[in-house]
Structure 1
Amino acid sequence: MPKIKRLIFMVMLLLLTACVGEETIRNQTFEKAINSELKKAGTTEIRLKEHTDFPWDKAFVFTPYTSNEQIQEQLADNDIDSKLESSIEYLDGFNLIVFTNDGEVVQYAEVSRKYGDLKVKENNGFTPEHDEVPVQLHNS
């Protein structure tokens, strides 16, 4: 009987390992930090690197109603739907920031537009060396 229990345990462990893959993480800590910055009067830009504690080499900001196809094209990632659980295509309450590392999506954040908007003229992406995202605060 102990061999059967051990076999069942090994099969369950194997199945669990197969189900847990590398997944993209929505970074709610980053979201809170950016929202705190946007609450401050006089904020004109957000420095992404100051609020990240994970490796990234490129960050992209997407505005409301950006389609999944546009995001997929910008990131050159055909499997973006399985990595981002965002509804930015249909909603206007947030901006989406997607972080990549070596061409792979690693984390993303939905930054509320309640206090201000992230302004992006061209979405060529931001790097840790050039991480200043312009901000337009809303009048309170």
Structure 2
Amino acid sequence: MTTFDWDKAYLFTPYSTQEAIEEELGTDFKDPSHISTRDDIYLLVFLDGDEVVQYVEMERQGSDFSIGKEGHLTPSNDVISIERH
């Protein structure tokens, strides 16, 4: 469902720090969402190689998102589970 090339995507939870995001991505990324101070969104960041190519702010609205044990998504394994509480 994307219109761009990507090989990994990472999901960041509310209050994720800038340092934690960059460590997980393995590259510089200036978080435009300011998720480190927010509890109303998740941040989904797409990489192609070591370059960030897209990001999405996903509103929580009382939901929890999970991408499983791998810690990231790939085009061949791109299922996101959504649990509504």
Separation in structure 2 between the aligned mates of residue 90 and residue 60 of structure 1, nearest angstrom: 19
Are the equivalent residues in 1 in contact too, given 2:62–2:84 (CA < 8 A)?
yes
TM-score where L is the length of structure 2:
0.89
Matched, 1:61 2:11: yes
1:88 to 35, 41, 48: 35
Corresponding position of 2:26? 76
Structure showing the higher helix proportion among its residues: 1
Looking at secondary structure, tell me which structure has more strand per residue.
2
Q: Is the 8 A contact 2:67 2:73 kept in 1?
A: no
2:22 partner SS? helix
Q: CA deviation at 1:121?
A: 5.1
Q: What is the CA-CA distance between 1:117 and the residue it aligns to?
A: 2.0
Closer, same or farther: CA 64–122 of 1 in aligned 2, 3 Å: farther
Alpha-carbon distance in structure 2 between the residues aligned to 1:69 and 1:121: 22
CA distance in 2, matches of 1:132, 1:86: 23
Moved over 6 A (4+): none
CA distance in 2: counterparts of 1:102 and 1:57, whole angstroms: 7
Q: 1:44-87 deviations in whole A, cap 9, x for unaligned?
A: xxxxxxx311111000000100101000000111x312xx3121
TM-score (norm 1): 0.56
Alignment gaps of 5+ in structure 2 = none
Deviations 1:73-115 (A, max 9, x none): 00111x312xx31210000000000000011100000000015
Q: Over aligned residues, Cα RMSD in angstroms? A: 1.6
State the distance in 1 between where 2:8 and 2:38 align. 24
Q: Which protein is bigger by CA-based radius of gyration?
A: 1
3-state SS, counterpart of residue 80 of structure 2: strand
